[in-house]
């Protein structure tokens, strides 16, 4: 496995994979070794720095993005955690940012295959777009308005608002990316591009940007009109095979009304879009707040059901529903809702044809698995459980492709990853994996196999820590019954299960039942481990507190 690149003081930031590449640099998914969290790192490529002047321009752009993001202070803008801007070393220009899991609006529009593990979104190219429900379009546009209202109050103009720079996070929150070319409306701000160069994207560029005139917050509203048009009818306002043709249309050609392309679009939304696309800035709505107010009637009400949405590409769907796609209406239908309960599909019980297993595991694969174990163990020992689990995830994918999903090596890797989640107290993710593994082992090795029972025992422990005491107790008891069918109640496994059952009974206030279980357990532990064994004494102390809750009396 290639050595991960590390940057920052004491190699704090580890770069895992490149997720976007542009003309000026690259964006990486990585980890903050101190806080054990995923991050996105924007790096300047040293080979694009041709002169000190260009380096200074890049530094200004990064500096601006960091400062503007901090000043906007809204959750709709990914946070910048760190900025390293060293003019003396061009290979040390980078931003450390919030890593957002979600899907770009461009990919949502085109219905292209997307990666739900993805972070900073890149362009997905032009193509036939999907028509979104009105509630989806209004919700996305309204959230963009909210971010713009915060930015324009500074005042900061984004200047490159387009679907590629809009990300819908997994919880439905819209994130507006790339404030690196944003302009503070002050006369003393240095221009961030050579004289005569346009900033923006021709398909979404306002007439005044094309004309080189004064750029204001109303320029962003024009771009928002372009985006809203595309959300509602599935195609850009203007199309052409050259930037020149597109710019000419933005300057001179009236946009086609929405209802001529999609008759069911409400008349007031058509009017709003045409107002946003007015050629003269003063003919557009007054500000982002005014646009939000006009969108409000089309936002879903709290408690309302989600509108159905169908995507052409099956990669976007979960069993025919849009469950795999972040829903931008959730923030309005369920404002300030608690974290959604995970819906783990029940493991399939249908027999799966076994995949042929190579008689000899490839040396490179064996080394990769060994390296994943070693790296994850090292990371976990340093408290970096999130990254440790990610290292194992990569090894699992590689091994499953080569050996089959139910190969013992693959299942062992999954067991280790679930244990890492549990050690890091991420009990919800650990539970999901232990449940799935228990079903696989029950099907392939039998429900009373050691591996199946171990997974069930760990799953019960996770449930107990998630507050699911009744379910945890039931599972501990069921596992104990299987263990007793094949062994004695004084085996290490049985003793551990009986202790867990006694403690759970106690936590649920069932003191007499707990005392009965723990009393019998203590007698067996005295025989098996001895009275002076540490674990035996712990149970004895617990029984003493149960029987004398008031503590020792005065001597």
pLDDT in tens, the chain (555 residues): 456 688 888 889 999 999 887 766 789 999 999 999 999 998 877 776 667 777 777 777 777 778 888 888 899 999 889 888 765 655 567 889 999 988 999 988 886 333 333 344 333 334 444 578 999 999 999 999 999 999 998 888 999 999 999 999 989 999 998 886 676 664 333 333 433 445 668 899 999 988 887 888 999 999 999 999 999 999 999 998 888 899 999 999 999 999 999 999 999 999 999 999 999 999 999 999 999 999 999 999 999 988 877 665 544 544 334 456 889 999 999 988 876 665 554 444 344 444 554 545 578 899 999 999 999 999 988 888 888 999 999 999 999 999 999 999 999 999 999 999 998 888 888 999 999 999 999 999 999 999 999 999 999 999 988 888 889 999 999 999 999 987 778 888 899 999 999 988 887 788 889 899 999 999 989 998 999 999 999 999 989 888 876 554 443
Closest Cα partner for 101 from 208, 181, 195, 29? 29
| Other beta carbons within 10 Å of 285 | 20
Q: Are strands 166-169 and 80-85 parallel, antiparallel or unpaired?
A: unpaired
Q: Are 372 and 392 in contact (CB under 8 A)?
A: yes
The answer as to CATH 1.10.287.610 being correct for domain 1-99 is no
Give the start-to-end residue ranges of the domains of the chain: 1-99, 103-333, 362-424
Q: Are 57 and 93 in contact (CB under 8 A)?
A: no
Compute the distance between CA of residue 38 and CA of residue 35 in angstroms, rounded to an integer.
9
Tokens 């049985």 sit on residue: 494
Name the H helices within 253-351. Answer: 258-261, 267-276, 288-295, 330-333
Compute the distance between CA of residue 310 and CA of residue 313 in angstroms, rounded to an integer.
9
Give pLDDT, residue 357.
Answer: 47
Compute the distance between CA of residue 62 and CA of residue 493 in angstroms, rounded to an integer.
57
In angstroms, how far is the first alpha carbon of the chain from the final one? Answer: 67
Compute the distance between CA of residue 472 and CA of residue 457 in angstroms, rounded to an integer.
9
Q: Which of 160, 164, 220, 435 is catalytic?
A: 160
Compute the distance between CA of residue 539 and CA of residue 525 in angstroms, rounded to an integer.
9
Compute the distance between CA of residue 253 and CA of residue 236 in angstroms, rounded to an integer.
14
pTM of the model: 0.68
Give pLDDT, residue 55.
Answer: 72
- Measured over the CA atoms of residue 169, residue 174, residue 175 and residue 176, the dihedral's sign is positive
The answer as to CATH 1.10.510.10 being correct for domain 103-333 is yes
Give pLDDT, residue 465.
Answer: 82
Phi, psi of 39 (to 5 degrees): -140, 160
Q: Give the CA radius of gyration of the chain.
A: 29
Q: Is-catalytic flag, 160?
A: yes
Give pLDDT, residue 343.
Answer: 54
Tokens 């008689």 sit on residue: 359
Task: Give the SS3 label for residue 15.
Answer: strand
Give pLDDT, residue 13.
Answer: 93
């Amino acid at each position: 496995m290639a050595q991960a690149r590390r940057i920052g003081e004491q190699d704090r930031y580890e770069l895992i994979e490149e997720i976007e590449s542009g003309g000026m640099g690259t964006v990486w998914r990585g980890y903050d070794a101190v806080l054990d969290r995923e991050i996105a790192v924007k790096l300047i490529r040293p080979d694009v720095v041709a002169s000190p002047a260009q380096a200074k321009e890049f530094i200004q752009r990064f500096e601006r993005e960091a400062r503007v993001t901090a000043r906007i202070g809204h959750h709709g803008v990914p946070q910048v955690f760190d900025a390293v801007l060293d003019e003396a070393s061009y290979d040390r220009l980078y931003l450390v940012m919030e890593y957002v899991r979600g899907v770009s609006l461009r990919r949502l529009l085109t219905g292209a295959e997307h990666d739900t593990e993805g972070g900073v979104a890149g362009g997905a190219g032009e193509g036939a777009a999907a028509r979104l429900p009105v509630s989806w379009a209004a919700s996305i546009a309204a959230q963009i308005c909210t971010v713009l209202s915060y930015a324009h109050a500074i005042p900061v103009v984004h200047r490159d608002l387009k679907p590629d720079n809009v990300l819908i996070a997994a919880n439905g929150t819209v994130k507006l990316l790339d404030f690196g070319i944003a302009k503070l409306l002050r006369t003393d701000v240095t221009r961030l591009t050579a004289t005569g160069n346009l900033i923006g994207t021709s398909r979404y560029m306002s007439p005044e940007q094309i004309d080189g005139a004064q750029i204001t917050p109303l320029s962003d509203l024009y771009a928002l009109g372009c985006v809203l048009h595309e959300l509602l009818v599935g195609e850009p306002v203007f199309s052409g095979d050259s930037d020149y043709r597109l710019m000419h249309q933005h300057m001179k050609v009236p946009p086609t009304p929405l209802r001529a392309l999609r008759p069911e679009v409400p008349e007031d939304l058509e009017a709003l879009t045409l107002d946003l696309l007015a050629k003269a800035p003063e003919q557009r709505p007054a500000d982002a707040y005014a646009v939000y107010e006009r969108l409000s009637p089309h936002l879903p009400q709290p408690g309302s059901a989600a509108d159905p949405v169908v995507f052409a590409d099956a990669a976007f769907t979960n069993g025919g529903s849009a469950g795999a796609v972040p829903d931008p209406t959730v923030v309005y239908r369920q404002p300030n809702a608690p974290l959604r309960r995970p819906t783990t599909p029940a493991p399939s019980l249908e027999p799966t044809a076994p995949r042929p297993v190579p008689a000899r595991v490839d040396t490179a694969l064996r080394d990769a698995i060994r390296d994943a174990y070693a790296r994850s163990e090292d990371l976990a020992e340093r408290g970096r459980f999130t990254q440790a689990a990610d290292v194992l995830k990569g090894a699992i994918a590689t091994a499953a492709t080569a050996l089959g999903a139910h190969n013992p090596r693959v299942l062992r890797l999954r067991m280790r990853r679930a244990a890492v989640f549990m050690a890091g107290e991420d009990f919800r993710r650990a539970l999901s994996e232990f449940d799935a593994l228990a079903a696989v082992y029950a099907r392939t090795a039998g429900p009373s196999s050691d591996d199946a029972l171990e997974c069930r025992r760990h799953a019960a422990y996770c449930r107990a820590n998630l507050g699911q005491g009744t379910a945890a107790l039931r599972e501990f008891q069921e596992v104990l019954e299987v263990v007793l069918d094949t062994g004695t109640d004084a085996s290490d496994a049985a003793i551990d299960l009986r202790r867990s059952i006694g403690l759970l009974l106690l936590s649920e206030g069932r003191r007499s039942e707990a005392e009965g279980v723990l009393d019998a357990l203590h007698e067996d532990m005295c025989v098996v481990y001895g009275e002076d064994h540490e674990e035996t004494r712990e149970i004895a102390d617990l029984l003493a507190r149960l029987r004398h809750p008031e503590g020792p009396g005065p001597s």
